[in-house]
A = this chain, B = another copy of it.
Amino acid sequence: METDIEINEERMEKSIKTLKEWKKDINKELSRDLENAKKEAEEIHVEGKKVIDYLEDYTLRGGKRIRPGLIIAGYKAVGGEEYSKIVEAANSIEFLQSYFIIQDDVYDEDDLRRGEPTVHKMYEKYHQEELGDGSSEKFGRDLAIIVGDVSASLAVNKLLESKFDKKTIIETAKKLEKINRNTNYGQALDLKTNNTLLENTEEKDVLTVHNTKTANYTIAGPLNLGATLGNGTEEQKEILRNYGMKVGLGFQIYDDMLGLYGTKEKLGKPVDSDLKEGKKTLLMIKAYENGNEEQKEKIKQALGNKNITTKQIEEIRKIVKETGSYEYSRKKCQKLIKEGKSEIENTDKINEESKNFLLGIADYIITREV
């Protein structure tokens, strides 16, 4: 994306490097957690172990660990210093993430996640190869919901087992569960929007979905959990929240742009998947709003079309640019990132190292290719 934001390359690279270092420790901890979960499940039955096997495969196959990274960042931003304690607790949100996206894959009927089969597809295969009765598709779907449910339980459990003081644990666990519920309310609105005719879809609903499902869940929420674990002040939490909600909304708008203009190799899923599932992104809504009759008709024919052609995708890409919808999203995204950055640029309530990390992350968010 063309950007008029001044990107501090050096600072951004440093943030990415920090995130990668944390990621290693997070992944080590995740592997350990999953091994323990497997033992627990195996005591019940081998079929319980399979639930965790699939969760492990799915969770460890990739992911940038941005959410646990932001828990660590929020903790450090308010002066937290016990790194190994925060890494342990931070992992809780990675289990919440697997729960959301495993079930999201079911809602969206996506076959691939990070270039490999989604959990419902894995269970579908298991059914086809080893079981003899019933529908493979339904079995896959039902079992994926169960894997998600177990992962949600492991999320809060991880926090309950952490080494922070009991009052802090309870306060943070309540916040984690509030994030869980709010993200689900956003999901409900998202599904409603996707089941509403394009001409009846409102921009404000799409933005509410982005605010709950992405800005709060991916950026502002994790920062708040970290700040809570670090006993931050309300003032500090407020600054982090303002940064997180703005940068988070920018992140999602940019993500939808990548979803339409990216490549399969980079996205780890087909480029037409957003279009096929009829996702009513800001790009689509604005293009439809501003389009002429012919363009409107083409958008309608493409959106939610399971048999969409490469030619149609190209046409949609063109229409989104011609109607000014691309530019609308691009500008909105830039503005949000700028405002988000300014929330922390001029404060002395957040320590310097964390400020630089978060500013670098904001730049990364609008320059990344995936």
Contacts and interface: CB of A to CB of B under 8 A. Distances in A.
A10 to B, nearest CB: 39
B44 A208 contact: yes
Given A139-B195, A149-B152, A157 B174 contact: yes
Contact of A149 (B103, B134, B150): B103
Contacts of A195: 127, 131-134, 139
The count of identical subunits is 2
A89 interface: no
Contact of A185 (B48, B180, B191, B304): B48
A34 to B, nearest CB: 13
Interface string A173-190: 110011011101111110
A187 B146 contact: yes
A45 interface: yes
A189 B133 contact: no
Contacts of A37: 181
Contacts of A153: 152, 177, 180-181, 184
Interface string A204-237: 0100100010000000000000000000000000
Contacts of A154: 181
Contacts of A174: 157, 160-161
B47 A143 contact: no
B182 A44 contact: yes
A9 interface: no
A317 interface: no
Contacts of A249: none
A40 interface: yes
Contacts of A290: none
A221 to B, nearest CB: 13
A198 B191 CA distance: 38
Nearest to A161: B174
A192 interface: yes
Chain A contact-residue range equals 35 or more
A343 B167 CA distance: 38
Contact of A196 (B45, B132, B149, B198): B132
B134 A194 contact: yes
Contact of A51 (B139, B188, B197): B188
Nearest to A149: B184
Given A139-B195, A142-B107, A170-B169, A45 B189 contact: yes
A250 interface: no
B191 A142 contact: yes
A308 interface: no
A50 interface: yes
Given A157-B174, A177-B157, A181-B41, A200 B142 contact: no
Contact of A160 (B41, B107, B170, B182): B170
A78 interface: no
Nearest to A50: B188
A12 interface: no
7 closest pairs, A vs B, by CB?
Answer: A48-B185, A166-B166, A134-B195, A47-B189, A44-B185, A132-B197, A131-B195
Given A139-B191, A160-B173, 15 more contacts: A44-B208, A45-B185, A47-B192, A48-B189, A51-B188, A103-B149, A132-B196, A133-B278, A134-B194, A149-B180, A149-B184, A153-B181, A160-B174, A161-B174, A166-B170
7 contacts: A47-B185, A51-B184, A51-B185, A146-B188, A149-B152, A150-B185, A166-B167
